Amino acid sequence: MDSAAAAVSPHAEAPARVPTQADLLDFVRRVAADAELIASLPLDPEGRTWVHLEGPGGSEAWLIGWPPGTGTGWHDHADSVGAFVTASGELKEYSLATRLPADGWKSLELTDGVDRERQLPAGQGRAFGRHHVHEVLNESTDRHAISVHAYYPPLPQIRRYSRTGQVLRLEHVERPEDWQ
């Protein structure tokens, strides 16, 4: 991420239990519907911007602004489950419909038929499980997108990948201290 702002606490209602994927999806949908909060996110014409939010049950949450043509690159969220919703604009998610080994590999040849693609206009999103490999893009050439994301447990790491054809390569692992 390219810039950060102070943490805010919109709608943070901590359940008495560990939040599920459904809880996280419900949370990001409620936050995405908060027009005042969405409009308050500072947008940068060149880099992604974000605000840290307090998610339900100790989850980590983010409000993220995406300038035209920006994306995440291929990555996963390790042992965290998550959810995200597009609040304005439109995002595209490319993902793999297969569970990858958690550790012990540097390069994998993917089989045919594992690629998935989703258009996520405003109000649309999804939840995902552990080790979900994807990339998210704002493919617009002229419009920002804004999204809301939540993860539980808070991100222990993000694994970054490169992809050439059917070959997925682990490039590096980021930890929370790398994002400060």
The answer to whether the CB of 128 falls within 8 A of the CB of 5 is no
Type of residue at 73: G
Q: What is the mean pLDDT of the chain?
A: 90
Q: What is the pLDDT of residue 10?
A: 54
Q: What is the pLDDT of residue 16?
A: 62
pLDDT for 157 beyond 60: yes
| CATH topology (fold) of 5-179 | Jelly Rolls (2.60.120)
pLDDT band at 127 (very low <50, low <70, confident <90, very high): very high
pLDDT one-digit tens code per residue, 19-72: 999 999 999 999 999 999 999 999 999 999 999 999 999 999 999 999 999 999
pLDDT for 3 beyond 80: no
pLDDT one-digit tens code per residue, 73-104: 999 998 999 999 999 999 999 999 987 776 78
Listed by start position, the domains of the chain span 5-179
Would you tell me how many other CB atoms lie within 10 Å of the CB of residue 4? Answer: 13
* Cβ-based burial of 56 (10 A; exposed 0-12, middle 13-18, buried ≥19): buried
